[in-house]
Amino acid sequence: RADGARLWATIHETAAFGGTPNGGINRLTLSAEDGQVRDWFRDACEAAGLAVSVDALGTQYALRRGRDMSRPPVAFGSHLDTQPTGGKFDGVLGVLAGLEVMRTLNDAGIETEAPLMVVNWTNEEGSRFAPAMMASAAYAGDFTADEILAKRDAAGVTVAEALDAIGYRGDVAVGGQTIGAFVELHIEQGPILEAEAKTIGVVEGGQGIAWFDGAITGFESHAGTTPMPRRRDALLALSEFALAAERIALDHAPSAVATVGEAAILAPSRNVVPGRVAFTLDIRDPRSATLDAMEAALHAAAAEIGARRNLTVELARIWRKEPVPFDARVVAAVEAAAENLGHPRRRIVSGAGHDACNLAARVPTAMIFVPCKDGVSHNESESATQGDCAAGADVLLQTVLRLANA
Amino acid sequence: RADGARLWATIHETAAFGGTPNGGINRLTLSAEDGQVRDWFRDACEAAGLAVSVDALGTQYALRRGRDMSRPPVAFGSHLDTQPTGGKFDGVLGVLAGLEVMRTLNDAGIETEAPLMVVNWTNEEGSRFAPAMMASAAYAGDFTADEILAKRDAAGVTVAEALDAIGYRGDVAVGGQTIGAFVELHIEQGPILEAEAKTIGVVEGGQGIAWFDGAITGFESHAGTTPMPRRRDALLALSEFALAAERIALDHAPSAVATVGEAAILAPSRNVVPGRVAFTLDIRDPRSATLDAMEAALHAAAAEIGARRNLTVELARIWRKEPVPFDARVVAAVEAAAENLGHPRRRIVSGAGHDACNLAARVPTAMIFVPCKDGVSHNESESATQGDCAAGADVLLQTVLRLANA
Ligand SMILES: NC(=O)NCCC(=O)O
Ligand SMILES: NC(=O)NCCC(=O)O
């Protein structure tokens, strides 16, 4: 059994790096605060006797030796970066529970057959640099390291520059660290487990995701003198598009979601009709065909709005992640561990993207969910109980022991 | 007759202060670029023998002596600040045509009975600091100087600090400079004169304006896991509100207009449902009762959207300017000058706010409009012809001679 109180203490200790007055965390990937929590994590891993290495995209790997070092390590972990309005659990729980697994095994003097490894993946959140789960995608071969290193944030800073700024451009080749199996513990970030009073979600896979960059080009004009019918108002076009995206998601209820998460007027002024707007769009569904149908409907809406309002609505897909099924054997190991520990549980599909969804393409993978309050995440008020976090850590511990000793 | 070529040259010379690659001007009030054009204007006025003074809000007054110095000066001018996507004519034409009037009278050795004065009013545009036409409103007594000095831009800088930064907090008391009559030459910023092939608009008054600050408070949540019906999406609420404002303006067609000119998501992220949005709203109509009806409809829309989407939509009016009729005698002087010069003309109501609309409360006032291409303003492509600018300067010259020698 993991030490739930120790895990809880590390969660609250590290929440200080980027902590906000509202009890959340603002720790964008590769920021100074992310550098601080990475240093903390490295030091804690080394104090636990783990060998820490860093790859060219900054992902941290902390290895605990096994009896049979010819076997690839059983890995687990998640991410330490957060959203700008992030909570204390998203990602953090999975990494710190991984550390807790190592500490528990050390305390009990337990050796495993295969080595174990806890991983902190770079830029899971995708808020500063798109796409999300960037480093794990490169690990799985979806992108080259150079493609990722060249991506820029809104201020024009590249991933390479951001890595150098905090000293986390490591020497392990991306994808060079072999992994035998991967298990990720995470809060559900949705309402299902809480509603059904289940402590453990046995995650069978992740839904599909597509991300778009949008640009609307109308014409700036005077707010006092331009008659309504002559306007080419980019904000009104965005308004119609955002509402169309909501309707298109509802057309595929209850599974589909669509979100315009960023939207900015260029050169805004109170008395200027907005001429140019930039925005982002995120759509998701567990079925690939539904994503296709939504994409088609969104392009049709953009074209219709553009033609009617005499402006251009551009929509460029920058990322698409197909729905991912997890590995049956690893899912079964999670289920057996939860059963053995007597936790109420259910099978579940992840609504959020996770590094595990990328790993699954290359490594037998599954996930463990625990409930979070009201299903709220990507919010400073995100909350989970000490008991549920400890239960998740226990299931993680039992699962990795099964996998490493099998 | 004014020297149209010299006027045209000064318009293009000063367009370099804050000039943009697209041929426009980005010269927000009290910016470094505004400081540069103010210095240029002061030097040019002094070179023309005018006595330049500056009031506590930075407004520049350049006096040409008259035979009877006991009479208050006949004043004319406009503003040298621009929108972030401003053109070369909005405001600039009125100030530089005023300078041209002085130069023409000097060249011709003409003395007037009353003194003459060209004025550059601070912050006509209202883009950096709200409301628009701030200094002329304080001149007319709508605000105290201290109220204006304390207003802040989006970065938190006060008017007082911005004035000090460019050295334009002058020693003339606000409202202390007596003015006998005021005439403002301006581009129409609308399509009417061009459509009817009139060179001169004899402006009878300005329409009413109300400005609002809006705030929407929903709840940040995860874009992948939050079911559509559970969302409290502040951007979708803004979208509905902006479209409601458009519909409400169209309900009062063709005279009314409504514009959401600024809108920003707080802590935006691609995979976060927007929780908080700040926005601005500008509504206008020539009738006060229509403004009242629009305000009521807008508040009703805000309440309905907020209730239905389970969030709050706040709408606070920060400024209201009632419709303004100009002085019959000064309007008649403009009309007589245009008639005498043989320019095609028509009576017109201003859709834009102007310093003249504030002056009218205290001083006999009127305005002269000239056409601009396609009625476009607050856009870098704003354009007017040399001939129309010269015609406007001629009408200004003849009008002020009539008023100063009457
Ligand atoms: N787990 C999580 O919130 N990941 C961020 C990526 C996404 O799902 O948008
Ligand atoms: N003339 C002009 O564009 N003034 C700005 C104030 C306004 O009408 O919004």
Question: What is the per-residue pLDDT across B348-359, written as a single tens digit (0 to 9) for each?
Answer: 999 999 999 999
B209 contacts in chain A (CB < 8 Å): 224
- Cα of B26 vs centre of ligand 2, distance in Å, is 15
Compute the mean pLDDT over every residue in chain B, rounded to the nearest whole number. Answer: 98
Confirm if A373 and A384 have CB atoms less than 8 A apart.
Answer: yes
- The pLDDT value recorded for residue A11 is 98
Query: Can you name the residues that pair with A345 across neighbouring β-strands?
Result: A200
A249 contacts in chain B (CB < 8 Å): 228
Confirm if B152 and B375 have CB atoms less than 8 A apart.
Answer: no
With an 8 Å Cβ cutoff, is A82 touching chain B? no
Contact A269 B132 (CB under 8 A): no
With an 8 Å Cβ cutoff, is A190 touching chain B? yes
Cα gap B376→B79, rounded to integer Å: 18
Which of A222, A273, A378 minimises the CB distance to B352?
A222
- The pLDDT value recorded for residue A216 is 99
**What's the whole-number mean pLDDT along residues B330-337?**
98
Backbone angles phi, psi at B76, to 5 degrees: -155, 160
Closest C-alpha among A102, A163, A95 to residue A128: A163
Contact A282 B240 (CB under 8 A): no
Q: How many CA atoms lie within 13 A of B286 on its CB side?
A: 12
Q: Which of A90, A283, A349 to probe ligand 1 with, by most ligand atoms within 8 A of CB?
A: A90
State both tokens at B5.
């070529």
- Cα of B271 vs centre of ligand 1, distance in Å, is 7
C-alpha dihedral sign at B150, B155, B161, B164: negative
Which positions 251-270 of A are in contact with B (Cβ < 8 Å)?
253-254, 256-265, 267-270
The alpha-carbon gap from A26 to the nearest alpha carbon of chain B, in Å, equals 10
Contact B223 A267 (CB under 8 A): no
Which of A225, A240, A351 minimises the CB distance to B189?
A225
Which of A221, A250, A261 minimises the CB distance to B271?
A261
Instruction: Please give the residue of chain B at the shortest CA–CA distance from A281.
Output: B270
The predicted model scores a pTM of: 0.95
Contact B379 A220 (CB under 8 A): yes
Q: Which atom of ligand 2 is nearest to the CA of B91?
A: 1
Non-local CB neighbours of B344 within 8 Å, separated by 6+ positions:
B197, B198, B199, B200
Cα gap A378→A88, rounded to integer Å: 10
Closest C-alpha among B176, B178, B173, B199 to residue B188: B199
Instruction: Please give the residue of chain B at the shortest CA–CA distance from A375.
Output: B226
- The pLDDT value recorded for residue A404 is 98
Which positions 108-127 of B are in contact with A (Cβ < 8 Å)?
125-127
Contact B259 A273 (CB under 8 A): yes
- The pLDDT value recorded for residue B47 is 98
Exposed / middle / buried, residue B108 (Cβ in 10 Å: 0-12, 13-18, 19+) = exposed
Cα gap B206→B204, rounded to integer Å: 7
Q: Three-state SS string across chain B, please?
A: CCCHHHHHHHHHHHCCCCECCCCCECCCCCCHHHHHHHHHHHHHHHHCCCEEEEECCCCEEEEECCCCCCCCCEEEEECCCCCCCECCCCCHHHHHHHHHHHHHHHHHCCCCCCCEEEEECCCCCCCCCCCCCHHHHHHHCCCCHHHHHCCECCCCCEHHHHHHHHCCCCCECCCCCCCCEEEEEEECCCCHHHHCCCCEEEEEEECEEEEEEEEEECECEECCCCCHHHCECHHHHHHHHHHHHHHHHHHCCCCCEEECCCEEECCCCCCEECCEEEEEEEEEECCHHHHHHHHHHHHHHHHHHHHHHCCEEEEEEEEEECCEECCHHHHHHHHHHHHHHCCCEEEEEECCCCHHHHHCCCCCEEEEEECCHHHCCCCCCCCCCHHHHHHHHHHHHHHHHHHHHC
- The pLDDT value recorded for residue B63 is 98
Contact B269 A261 (CB under 8 A): yes
- Cα of A109 vs centre of ligand 2, distance in Å, is 76
B252 contacts in chain A (CB < 8 Å): none
The CA-atom distances, in angstroms, between A274 and each of B242, B280, B315 are 12, 12, 20
Task: Using pLDDT thresholds of 50, 70 and 90, give the confidence band for residue B148.
Answer: very high
Q: Side chain identity at A392, as an amino acid letter?
A: G
With an 8 Å Cβ cutoff, is A239 touching chain B? yes
Task: Using pLDDT thresholds of 50, 70 and 90, give the confidence band for residue B325.
Answer: very high
The alpha-carbon gap from B396 to the nearest alpha carbon of chain A, in Å, equals 23
- Cα of B378 vs centre of ligand 2, distance in Å, is 8
Q: Which atom of ligand 1 is nearest to the CA of A353?
A: 8
- Per DSSP bridges, beta strands A116-120 and A74-78 are parallel
What's the distance, CA B207 to chain centroid? 13
The CA-atom distances, in angstroms, between B62 and each of A162, B45, B397 are 53, 7, 16
A219 contacts in chain B (CB < 8 Å): 376, 379
- Cα of A332 vs centre of ligand 1, distance in Å, is 24
Q: Which of B222, B269, B270 to probe ligand 1 with, by most ligand atoms within 8 A of CB?
A: B222
- Cα of B132 vs centre of ligand 2, distance in Å, is 7
Contact B270 A130 (CB under 8 A): yes
- pLDDT tens-digit series, residues A105-128: 999 999 999 999 999 999 999 999
Residue linked to tokens 């002020």: B400
Backbone angles phi, psi at A158, to 5 degrees: -85, 165
CA-nearest residue for atom 3, ligand 2, is: B352
DSSP state of A379: S
DSSP state of A140: T
The alpha-carbon gap from B116 to the nearest alpha carbon of chain A, in Å, equals 31
- Which of A81, A89, A207, A225 to probe the B interface (max B CBs under 10 A)? A225
- Which of A378, A381, A383 to probe the B interface (max B CBs under 10 A)? A378
Non-local CB neighbours of B181 within 8 Å, separated by 6+ positions:
B74, B75, B327, B330, B363, B364, B365, B403
Contact B352 A224 (CB under 8 A): yes
Question: How confident is the prediction along chain A (406 residues), in pLDDT tens digits per residue?
Answer: 999 999 999 999 999 999 999 999 999 999 999 999 999 999 999 999 999 999 999 999 999 999 999 999 999 999 999 999 999 999 999 999 999 999 999 999 999 999 999 999 999 999 999 999 999 999 999 999 999 999 999 999 999 999 999 999 999 999 999 999 999 999 999 999 999 999 999 999 999 999 999 999 999 999 999 999 999 999 999 999 999 999 999 999 999 999 999 999 999 999 999 999 999 999 999 999 999 999 999 999 999 999 999 999 999 999 999 999 999 999 999 999 999 999 999 999 999 999 999 999 999 999 999 999 999 999 999 999 999 999 999 999 999 999 999 9
DSSP state of A230: G
Q: Which helix (H) or strand (E) holds A259?
A: strand A257-259
Q: Which atom of ligand 2 is nearest to the CA of B351?
A: 8
CA-nearest residue for atom 5, ligand 1, is: A125
B154 contacts in chain A (CB < 8 Å): none
- The pLDDT value recorded for residue B179 is 98
CA distance between the termini of chain A: 19
The alpha-carbon gap from A256 to the nearest alpha carbon of chain B, in Å, equals 8
Exposed / middle / buried, residue B262 (Cβ in 10 Å: 0-12, 13-18, 19+) = buried
- pLDDT tens-digit series, residues B169-219: 999 999 999 999 999 999 999 999 999 999 999 999 999 999 999 999 999
Percent of chain B with pLDDT over 90: 100
- Cα of A271 vs centre of ligand 2, distance in Å, is 7
Contact B284 A223 (CB under 8 A): yes
Q: Which atom of ligand 1 is nearest to the CA of B223?
A: 9
B375 contacts in chain A (CB < 8 Å): 225-226, 230
Which of B230, B235, B352 minimises the CB distance to A225?
B352
Q: Which atom of ligand 1 is nearest to the CA of B225?
A: 8
B233 contacts in chain A (CB < 8 Å): 246, 259
Query: Can you name the residues that pair with A273 across neighbouring β-strands?
Result: A221
Cα gap A378→A85, rounded to integer Å: 6
- The pLDDT value recorded for residue B195 is 94
Cα gap A279→A264, rounded to integer Å: 6
